[in-house]
Structure 1
């Protein structure tokens, strides 16, 4: 097999599906959606970025500067891929899909996805997942892509399984949320598995 350890994450592609387009962030166009999902309590719960139920913090100049500093530099990163998820039906950004924590020696990455409420429950996330994971294997030469999903998010786990991710184990009590401990399920997909089913394991 060819050595793809030098995968080029500096290239930020546009990936086109039937329902979504993944593209580099356009901050002026995408800022409103970014603000929405960063302040959404349910997004915070499912991603583990909040420690418990609470009212959203006021969006002030500091929050705006932090958001613009982060998302305004995503297209320059040489070791990760952050793409906006765009709903083709409306042309609006509805979230993000990310390959990060790249380990060049072992050709593996972490995957995460985040959708605002306007992008949920319509299959957009599953298609976005297949697009960026396919790019990771077919263009970046990755060997393994992994993720973590909290036990209170069975809908996301089903979406990952539909795209071919396999549960590997459980990180017990990985998250403290609202005074309770929550397990995290570790899942992954390998290049050889992707080659067989291209994100549609039900077809084999």
Structure 2
């Protein structure tokens, strides 16, 4: 069984162009802008709005959460905030957890940052935590994200029909996962 505090010592993960650092109030202004970016809100299905105080409280509490990992994704070349990556919903008995990523907005979409971040997280989870399964949900209309997940080994397991109501339209959610035992080209 996986220890319930498996993410107590959350490391910095470094790739070719991206560094993942523990999510803290150090990225407050960028995080606030990210939470209000319209396309990002649509891609994540985020209906809620958040006050500055709520966001400060959330960011301040991340280090206390030993059953999950929350990273800020930063571009190595200039330190720019690219988004967040999260492993949460830890199920120690079943050696599984959930994954989510949200990029900061259209200015960083389509440049390979999501793929690099996802590969860093997947590789870390399977190399360092003992987890067997990492799952996620993605809206069916988000073909770009689905391609990223598939490149990183995630496979579609099912569909939640009409799970999102956005601007009067209903959208399906695809359920995907990657297993430690999956053969994924390029996975370290």
Q: Pick the TM interval, shorter chain.
A: over 0.9
Equivalent position of 2:116 in the other structure: 127
Q: What's 1:47 paired with?
A: 44
Unmatched runs of 5 consecutive residues or more in structure 2: none
Question: What's 2:97 paired with?
Answer: 109
Distance 1:139 1:198, change over 3 A: farther
TM-score, normalisation: structure 1: 0.86
- 1:79 matched to 2:67: yes
Q: Tell me which stretches of 4 or more aligned residues in structure 1 moved more than 4 Å.
A: none
Deviation at 1:119, TM superposition (A): 2.9
Indicate the SS of the match to 1:147: strand
What SS does structure 1 have at the residue aligned with 2:99? Answer: strand
Check conservation: 1:149, 1:186, Cα contact below 8 A: yes
Deviations 1:38-76 (A, max 9, x none): 00111111111128xxxxx7xxxx711000000111122
The equivalent of 1:27 in structure 2 is 25
Aligned to 1:89: 77
**Larger radius of gyration, structure 1 or 2?**
1
Contact 1:83 1:98 (C-alpha < 8 Å) held by counterparts: yes
Distance 1:46 1:121 in 2: 14
Tell me how far 1:144 sits from its aligned partner: 0.3
SS of structure 1 residue aligned to 2:6: coil
RMSD: 1.8
Which runs of no fewer than 5 residues in structure 1 stay unpaired? 52-56
Give the count of matched residue pairs: 186
